[in-house]
Amino acid sequence: MIILRVLGLDPALAGATGYGVVESDGRHCRMVRLGALRPARATTTVRKGGTAAGRTATNGHEHLCRIHQLVSELIEEFAPHSVAVESVFTALNRQTALRLAEVRGVVLLAAAQKGIPVRSYSPREIKAHVSGYGNAGKEQMQQMVRALLGLAETPEPADAADALAVALCHIQAAQAESRMAAGFARGGNLTRRVADVSAQANSPLTSSRATVHATTRQTTRLHPAIPASR
C-alpha cells in the first residue's frame, strides 16, 4: 500500500532541471520515474569583425514554459501527494539566485494550479535527511540514494539523482514529523488522564468520601468496638 508519493525537483535554469518520483509504503521506498529537462539552445548568427559567426544562446522564457509544462504533466500522470523542491542556495550570487528563483516560481505555480502542496529543503537539510551528514559529498549522496531505493546502479543523470534525493528527504522528514505528532498525541492523552485523575481526586464527592473514611478511622481508634467502614 502506497502511503506517500513525492515528486522531487532539482531546479536549474542554465543547466538541467532534474526530476524524480518516489513512492513509500512507510518502510521501503521505490523509484517510479526519473529524468532531467535540459534547456534548448537556439543558434543565432552575429557579425564579429565583418564576418559571420555562430553562437548558441538559451531562451530563458521558453525554458520556463517547458519546466511548467513538465511539472504539470508529471503531477497529472503520477498524482503525487507532495512536491519537494530544493531551495535557492544562499551562497549564490544575486543574478544566479534570481534566475533560479524564477524556476522555483514556475514549479510552485504548476503545483498550486493542481492543488499539490510544496515543501522546500536546503541542500544541507537534504544531505542530513538522506545521508545523516549535512556536509556529505556528491558521490556519497548518490550511493545513499541508490541504497535507499534499492537500485542496482547509481541513478543517472546526476541532476535526476539529486531530484531523487530531494524526494527522499521529504519522505524522511514527513515520517519524522508523523512520529513526533504520534508522540505528542500519546503525551497529550497521558496528560489528560493525569488531569482527569487529579480532577476526580479533588471533586466534592471524592473529598466527601475521603472525609467519611477519615472520620470512620478516627472513630474506630477511639471506639474499637465499632467496625471500620469499607
Active site residues: 10, 86, 159
Which residues, in sequence order, are bridge partners of residue 36?
18
Which residues, in sequence order, are bridge partners of residue 57?
42
Task: Judge contact between 71 and 111, C-beta under 8 A.
Answer: yes
Q: CA-CA distance, 162 to 17, in Å (whole number)? A: 10
Q: CA-CA distance, 130 to 223, in Å (whole number)? A: 75
- What does the chain look like in DSSP terms, one character per residue? ---EEEEEEE--SSS-EEEEEEEE-SS-EEEEEEEEEPPPEEEEEEEETTEEEEEEEE-HHHHHHHHHHHHHHHHHHH--SEEEEEPPPTTS-HHHHHHHHHHHHHHHHHHHHHT--EEEE-HHHHHHHHHS-TT--HHHHHHHHHHHHT-SS--SSHHHHHHHHHHHHHHHHHHHHHHHHHHHHHHHHHHHHHHHHHHHHTSHHHHHHHHHHHHHHHHHHH-TTSPPP-
Nearest by Cα to 19 from 111, 93, 140: 111
